[in-house]
Copies of this chain bind each other. A is one copy, B any other.
């Protein structure tokens, strides 16, 4: 795990796979894991990973600063998680009914997440955000859900960022506000009138391609007060941030409790699971829904989630990520300064986003990312990065060697 990342191989296997994929997958790939918008050096296919190191199909090794876009939080192939998953798999996974681990996990989540009195499980973050909206509507008998303009809450027709195949009716019951702007929320709430079912909000503003913005605690408290006043549900979309900032919910440090929260990604360190957590006021609304899926009761990902949450707590993973994230931030900021490159480095240290001043078309970001990748660190030019608890001081040091060369390349691109 401590050797130098090697990025020497040609992308021969990757190119061959891309050609084959073009024939049998529309556009060659789709969704957030398509490399269509990434610099050409990025592999479209990965082989595997361990800890903070990952390998592409041509055997190139990278330090992982994307963590599979969030699911990997303890590092790849975390032994306790994989052992728990394998032990459960040897018994049963997808059965005629859930396994006992479903109750164990629901209890663990209710103990761990302060605002939660109950839990439901699903497979996608989108399942969880959609269920939150439906529960809010079932409980209130109202229709309108307010969302921040530009926020990502999933890829179903009501929320996908691309309009292909989406009908106006899919979004007719949404209202829009500006993140951290309470006045805009009040206006949207007023427009919804007595039809306001809920307000959906991310723990901080993490719209892909834009500088991030931490939540103004006054804004969070303002949303809570407005929901208390109107009876609407305050819904926290903790899919991307959950279990990275605070085990008890990403707004626990802010001191604001949502009514409902959506979770997925890091909850089982890469095993497919999502959850909706809620308080007692919304329990009956949740009970009324018929929501389900063929694999929603599968036991393996639930066993993996129990092991993940337990390890996160016992290994003090949030603190570890914060230390690594701070070290990375300090290094990056110092490098940018030394290369005289004005950058923004925004968001929590454990989920940072880097952009270059004036780089609206991401041209410099792409140069940076491509050279970082060639130097052996896998990060993203248009999406926040993720620091896992598996990163060692050595990983950070080597990642910073790569980013220093990447800054040099940007410097060269701009000229002196």
Residues of chain A at the chain B interface (Cβ within 8 Å): 13, 17, 20-21, 23-27, 29-33, 35, 42-49, 54, 56-57, 64, 66, 68-72, 76-77, 82, 85-86, 89-100, 102-103, 106-107, 109-110, 117-120, 122-127, 130, 133-138, 143, 155-157, 160-162, 164-167, 169-170, 172-173, 239, 264-265, 270-272, 278, 283-298, 301, 378
Contacts and interface: CB of A to CB of B under 8 A. Distances in A.
Contact of A46 (B30, B32, B96, B289): B96
25 contacts: A17-B100, A20-B103, A21-B102, A21-B103, A24-B103, A25-B106, A26-B278, A29-B98, A30-B289, A45-B97, A45-B103, A68-B96, A69-B294, A86-B86, A93-B270, A122-B124, A124-B295, A134-B164, A155-B292, A160-B289, A165-B288, A169-B170, A265-B294, A271-B295, A272-B272
A48 B161 CA distance: 40
Contacts of A99: 45-48, 57
B47 A126 contact: no
Q: Which 3 A-B pairs have the closest CB atoms?
A: A31-B292, A48-B92, A138-B165
A43 to B, nearest CB: 6
A144 B182 CA distance: 38
Given A47-B91, A270-B94, A293 B124 contact: yes
Contact of A30 (B57, B66, B89, B292): B292
B155 A291 contact: yes
A95 B294 CA distance: 23
B68 A94 contact: yes
Q: How many monomers of this protein are in the complex?
A: 2
A106 B165 CA distance: 23
B290 A161 contact: yes
A17 to B, nearest CB: 5
A143 B35 CA distance: 30
Contact of A96 (B33, B94, B102, B125): B33
Contacts of A290: 30-31, 155, 160-162, 164
Contacts of A42: 97
A270 B89 CA distance: 11
B24 A119 contact: yes
Contact of A31 (B109, B162, B288, B291): B291
B134 A43 contact: no
Nearest to A55: B92
A407 to B, nearest CB: 22
A292 to B, nearest CB: 3
Contacts of A17: 100, 103
Contact of A164 (B100, B138, B297): B138
Nearest to A272: B295
A133 B107 CA distance: 37
Contacts of A70: 294
B98 A89 contact: no
B106 A21 contact: yes
A390 B161 CA distance: 44
A92 B107 contact: no
Contact of A124 (B89, B284, B294): B294
A152 to B, nearest CB: 10
Given A24-B118, A123-B124, A98 B46 contact: yes
A327 to B, nearest CB: 22
B124 A26 contact: no
A159 to B, nearest CB: 10
Contacts of A378: 96
A120 B25 contact: yes
Nearest to A140: B165
A138 to B, nearest CB: 3
Contacts of A166: 134, 137
A267 to B, nearest CB: 10
A123 B155 CA distance: 13
B25 A119 contact: yes
A136, A271, A378: which has the most chain B beta carbons within 10 Å? Answer: A271
